Structure 1
Amino acid sequence: MQIGIFTGVTDESIGPADLARAVEDRGFESLFVAEHTHIPVTVETPYPAGGDIPRDYYRNFDPFISLAFAAAVTQRLRIGTAVALLVQRDPIITAKEVASLDAASGGRFELGVGAGWLREEMRNHGTDPRSRLALQRERLLAMTAIWTRPQAEFHGEHVDFDPLYSWPKPVQRPRPPVWLGGWGPSTHERILDHADGWLAPVGIPFAELERGVHELRSLADRRGRPPVPVIATLFDPGPGDLTRLAELGIHRTLLGIAPVLPPDAAQRRLDRFAEVVHELGR
């Protein structure tokens, strides 16, 4: 099982370059960062964790900018989004950003996507929350066409463009890994349809994660597909937590830092996480 780090990057946190160096220097395999373009002043959508929307959400750097800095100062670290809100992004521009970052990093980028929960944020981007799952699917399929074809075109209900040229192509073929976030009746079907793996929800209880992993494996087996890799996220790993996840066959566990931390505190948190991982390896 690979061990990475998940956090946000803001104007009040450790910077993306220093963060990435610190993560790689401590032997972690990957760094994933979050996205919110903005938080509307008036919000009626309940925050999923309860209470007020965290301050970090208001101040996020663009994830592709953060990860470009991360790639520039590291050699081995895999970099990714957890999650990019594709339903709020133009697919042609995002395909260009993903391919450029993958090419510039030597094939180290992974795209985690989610349909999002903050309806007011989506609406400000012209997205109807009711159709966001269908929109996300078409945008991923359209981006894949751009990444894999010399002349790409796509004609769907939500995305429509005639043949176009777009380079660079990603180093990873046929595309960088796509991780689909979510947990619900359609999540596993959607993963098998247009993603490569499951990015399990942050904070999901272990019993629910275990059930989801087994259901996803069973569905893949019935479709004649190999087991689908899964990413889990822990914010405060306790004794035995990483061992249980490894035994469940989790592909990667992200150790989460929230709220985001200033430089000294972030370094100390990474040191503590490194000690936990060291204990696992003994």
Structure 2
Amino acid sequence: MRIGVFYFPTDYGIDPGELGAALEARGFESLFVCEHTHIPVSRRSPFPGGGELPKRYIHTHDPFVALSFAAARTQRLRLGTGVCLVPQRDPIVTAKSVASLDRLSGGRFEFGIGGGWNVEEMEDHGARYPTRFRLMRERVLAMQALWTEEVAGFAGEFVKIEPSWLHPKPLQRPHPPVLLGGETDHTLKRVVEFCTGWFPRAGAGFDPAEARRRLDAAARGAGRDLKTLSITVFRAPPEAAALAPYRAAGIDRVLLEVPDLDRDGILRRLDELAPLARG
């Protein structure tokens, strides 16, 4: 089981390049970064975690820029979005960002995606909450066509792209892994239709063995080869004993949280977590 981390790449935290180098030196497998383009001050959408919205949600770097700095300072570290809010992104521009980062990093990018929860944030991008998952699906399918076909176009309900060339192509074939966040049965249906991995969050009542069974059942129902689908668990518990059931259940990767601290505090926390990465 691979051990990575996730981090909100804030402008007051550690430099993403230094973080990447520190993770690789300590034996971590991957770095996934979170995304919010902006936070409207109206705050109509309640924070899903309850209470006030944490400061870090307002201060994040662009994920592709942050990961590019991490890529430049590392050789082996896998680099992912956790998650990229696809309903808020132009699919052509995003397809080029993904392909460019994957190629320049030597094929190390993982495309974690999600539909988003902040209604006013997505509305500023022209997306609507009730249709965000249909929009996400079409944008992902369009990007997959742009990555894999020499001349690619798309005609859907939301996405229309005339036959076009888009280069560079990703280094990974047919394209970087696409990991979909969420925990519902609807999420699993989407995973087995157009993704290569499931990206659930660990939380109260999360059972890794049951998660593995649910994905396997969904894959069999859709005629997908189980070997083509992975599970990456977001915010896994940072203790060896608590991670043992994840390993036993065949979870492919877990992500531990890098806290919202200053540079020195983050590096101290990485030293504390490093035995898990090496073990």
TM category (shorter chain) comes to over 0.9
% same residue: 47
- Offset, 1:206: 2.8
- C-alpha separation in 2, matches of 1:126 and 1:223: 32
Post-superposition CA distance 1:220-272 (Å, at most 9, x none): 123332223101123652351121110011100111123x2211111011111
Residues 235 and 250 of structure 1: is their aligned pair in 2 closer, same or farther, counting only changes over 3 Å? Answer: closer
- C-alpha separation in 2, matches of 1:25 and 1:232: 22
Stretches of structure 1 that go unaligned for 5 or more consecutive residues are none
Stretches of structure 2 that go unaligned for 5 or more consecutive residues are none
Post-superposition CA distance 1:177-216 (Å, at most 9, x none): 0000011131111001111000012535333x43332111
- C-alpha separation in 1, matches of 2:232 and 2:157: 31
- C-alpha separation in 1, matches of 2:205 and 2:103: 37
Letter in 1 for 2:190: R
Match of residue 59 from structure 2:
59
Match of residue 211 from structure 1:
210
Alignment of 1:203-242 (within 5 A): 203=203, 205-207=205-207, 209-227=208-226, 228-234=229-235, 236-242=237-243
Q: Give the SS at the match of 1:234.
A: coil
Alignment of 1:1-282 (within 5 A): 1-203=1-203, 205-207=205-207, 209-227=208-226, 228-234=229-235, 236-258=237-259, 260-278=260-278, 281=279
Determine if contact 2:96/2:166 at 8 Å carries over to the other structure.
yes
Determine if contact 1:33/1:83 at 8 Å carries over to the other structure.
yes
Residues 274 and 241 of structure 1: is their aligned pair in 2 closer, same or farther, counting only changes over 3 Å? Answer: same
For normalisation by structure 2, the TM-score amounts to 0.96
Large movers: runs of 4+ above 4 Å: none
Determine if contact 1:198/1:229 at 8 Å carries over to the other structure.
yes
- C-alpha separation in 1, matches of 2:258 and 2:273: 10
- C-alpha separation in 1, matches of 2:205 and 2:258: 18
Q: Give the SS at the match of 1:163.
A: strand
Post-superposition CA distance 1:110-145 (Å, at most 9, x none): 100000011110011111111000000000000001
Letter in 2 for 1:174: P
Q: Give the SS at the match of 2:275.
A: helix
For normalisation by structure 1, the TM-score amounts to 0.95
- C-alpha separation in 2, matches of 1:63 and 1:220: 30
Q: Give the SS at the match of 2:4.
A: strand
Post-superposition CA distance 1:20-59 (Å, at most 9, x none): 0000000111110000001110112121110011100000
Determine if contact 2:236/2:243 at 8 Å carries over to the other structure.
no
Once the two structures are overlaid, the 10-residue window that deviates more, 187-196 or 235-244, is 235-244
Once the two structures are overlaid, the 10-residue window that deviates more, 198-207 or 72-81, is 198-207
Determine if contact 1:235/1:257 at 8 Å carries over to the other structure.
no
Letter in 2 for 1:238: E
Q: Give the SS at the match of 1:24.
A: helix
Once the two structures are overlaid, the 10-residue window that deviates more, 77-86 or 179-188, is 179-188
**CA-based RMSD:** 1.3
- C-alpha separation in 2, matches of 1:153 and 1:11: 37
Alignment coverage as a number of residue pairs = 277
